[in-house]
Structure formats: structure tokens, C-alpha cells
Amino acid sequence: LRDEVASLGIALSRDGSDSQDVDATLRGLVLGRGLDPIEALELLFPPIVSEVRRMDPLAQDAYTRARAALGPYAQGPAAFLARMGDLCLVGVDAMGLRPLWHVETDEAHVFASERGFIPLERYSADPRPLAPGEHAGLERTARGWRYLDERSLRARFVALRAKRGCA
């Protein structure tokens, strides 16, 4: 990841951790290169090749080009949560070694490494761990936060890449 990011001219701290490198890369892609946060996160944590092969042709093309552009260099035990403006993105890398639970209550969607910190009586649905490689998000709208499942994130990624002429 460090070599790829250096070639993009994104500065990383000299003694930074893997997590700090991913954070700096995401900020560099969004704030420095003008990518949409969904686009940047999907570039950093792309789906595995066998999953890409099961996508429709337009999505296959967008994700194949994305993997060729940046590669799967941020893979490694990682669960992530990134918030930029009105968008909060969460996910697990393709290996899925770090747990990330989605807990729904009547008031909120909660993502955390443990499900037990929310009392059981507040659950409005059974908590579930995100699957290896799964991404999701929350987007603030005028009516509050809206849950974005993986299908909607991928559709937006493909649309963003097509708009740039990269799909």
C-alpha cells in the first residue's frame, strides 16, 4: 500500500501504522484527488476476483479496472468505519478476520466490534456480523440517517466510475 500510495503523491507518516496509512490514503483520495468517499473506499477494499466474476458486465468492468488501478493492497485483517460529511462507510476486508457487528435499535444503526454493549431489550433486529468483504453505509438525509446496503454502494461505485469514464 505504501508504494502504491507514494506513486499517487499522497503523503503518509514515516512511522505510521497500517490503520493510519489507510486513513491517510482515504483522505488523500477524497480530499486531494476529488474522489467520492464510496469510490475511494471501494478502490481501497475491492471485492475478491471470484466475486467480481459473478457481477453484471458493467460492474465487472468497473471493479476489474479498480483492482488494476490500485490493487488489493489494503487487505489484511481490517474492519473499518469512515465518516466524511454526511456519509459513514463501514466494512470488513475480504478475509473477514476482524469482526464488525451491525446492531439495529429503534433509534439507530450501530456498527461495532462487539454486539454486547447495546442492551438486548434495545435490539429491533437480530445483530449480525458483516460477512468477509461486505461493505455498508449510512447517509444523512433531510429525514435522518438512511442505511445503504452493499448492493446500493456497489451500484453507486459503478455509476461514479462510469461518470469518470473508468468503467
Asked if residue 120 lies in contact with residue 68, where contact means CB atoms within 8 angstroms, the answer is no
Buried b (16+ CB within 10 A) or exposed e, 55-74: beeebebbbbebbeebebbb
Find, among 23, 51, 58, the residue nearest to 37 by Cα. 23
The predicted pLDDT at position 87 comes to 96
pLDDT tens column, 79-101: 899 999 999 999 998 888 889 99
pLDDT tens column, 28-66: 999 999 999 999 999 988 898 999 999 999 999 999 998
Burial of 105 (0-12, 13-18, 19+ CB in 10 A): middle
Q: What is the mean pLDDT of residues 65-73?
A: 81
Residue 91 CB partners (closer than 8 Å, separation 6+):
41, 45, 79, 80, 100, 130, 133, 134, 135, 136
Global pTM reads: 0.88
